[in-house]
Structure 1
């Protein structure tokens, strides 16, 4: 399966009710944003857990990264409320569930093999938000590894930002509020991905929070043969 698998092209997904697909487990559905592979895949998705749903224990041979968008996501290691950003490094495993239901942004099989640092940050509780030099925006640093950078960004209504991406691209998810891009209004949970050396102008239509990741996209189509 290939979904938005050409990383040399921009990609935008606006969530719609009929875009959700069932996973192998009852009560767990997925909105696929990009994907290379079938059930075991290099994938970026929004995953929706119904109340009381769960997934069997499994390993993440090439790592898992997720942000809790709503509700509480849980596993045997703890509970992760709305706003938690988590990185489970290659070789880690868990048995996830949600007692009350939740939605998460999740990225699978996208770690450097040497990136072995587990991370748990509650972005709602963090005191690390920093104002920009002009005082118009705020950002919260989440993680750096090599050229990869992950952060949250707060934009007031009407604020414009220019994304002149580095040689390994940039990816955004609208966490709250809405943004305008190329004349289109993009609501909560809209996902945008821009390739290397691409310039994009984004405007906050309302007070907005973005999850933003840059410097991580492959320069060519990854090997579709997904193993382990």
Structure 2
């Protein structure tokens, strides 16, 4: 399976215009943003867990990174409420579930194979928060004021995911839970909407994909 697999192109996915797709686990549905591979894949996905649903135990050979958007996500290590950011490096395993339901943004099989850094962070309130940074990538949350114009430097590639509010880029509007990927070597700008924007941003990680 290949979805938005050409990393040399700008890609936008709007939450309200994308269908939910059933996963192999009952009660778990997905909106696929990009994907290379079948069930085990390099993937960026919005995943929705119905109350009481779960995935079978599994190991993330390529690592897993997720942000909790709604509800409470759970595994053996604890509960992760809205605003939780977690990095489970390669070779880690767990049994994900959501007794009360949850929605997460998750990225799979996108880690450096030697990365063994675990991260557990919360996005508390407003303001800019650096969630993770190494020589390959930076992951952060930025708060943009209403009408603010922001330079988007995609030298190493850039992904933006709207947590709250919205913005426009290249004449296209983005709202809650919309996703934009800019290819390496490009520069652009975004303007926050009337309510401002809370945006999850990942940069520098796509150089080797083009």
Q: Which TM bucket (shorter chain)?
A: over 0.9
How far apart in 2 are the matches of 1:190 and 1:79? 25
Coordinate RMSD, CA, aligned: 1.4
How far apart in 2 are the matches of 1:100 and 1:163? 37
Is the CA contact (8 Å cut-off) linking 1:7 and 1:218 kept in structure 2?
no
Q: How does 1:205-220 map to 2 (within 5 A)?
A: 205=193, 206-220=195-209
How far apart in 2 are the matches of 1:25 and 1:59? 16
How far apart in 2 are the matches of 1:113 and 1:201? 33
Is the CA contact (8 Å cut-off) linking 2:18 and 2:31 kept in structure 1?
no
Structure 1 range deviating more: 73-82 or 178-187: 178-187
Deviation of the 1:60 alpha carbon: 0.2
**Deviations for 1:146-201, whole angstroms, at most 9, x for unmatched residues?**
130010000111011011222x2010100001111222221100000001111121
- The residue aligned with 2:174 is 186
Deviation of the 1:218 alpha carbon: 4.3
Q: How does 1:1-228 map to 2 (within 5 A)?
A: 1-16=1-16, 19-124=19-124, 138-166=127-155, 168-205=156-193, 206-220=195-209
How far apart in 2 are the matches of 1:63 and 1:81? 21
- Count of residue pairs the alignment pairs up: 209
Q: Give ranges in structure 2 of 5+ residues lacking alignment.
A: none
How far apart in 1 are the matches of 2:29 and 2:35? 15
**Deviations for 1:29-86, whole angstroms, at most 9, x for unmatched residues?**
0000000001110000000011111111100011000000111000011000000000
Deviation of the 1:123 alpha carbon: 1.2
Is the CA contact (8 Å cut-off) linking 2:157 and 2:203 kept in structure 1?
yes
Deviation of the 1:18 alpha carbon: 5.2
1:177 counterpart SS class: strand
Is the CA contact (8 Å cut-off) linking 1:115 and 1:145 kept in structure 2?
no
How far apart in 2 are the matches of 1:174 and 1:104? 13
**Deviations for 1:10-34, whole angstroms, at most 9, x for unmatched residues?**
1100013651100001110000000
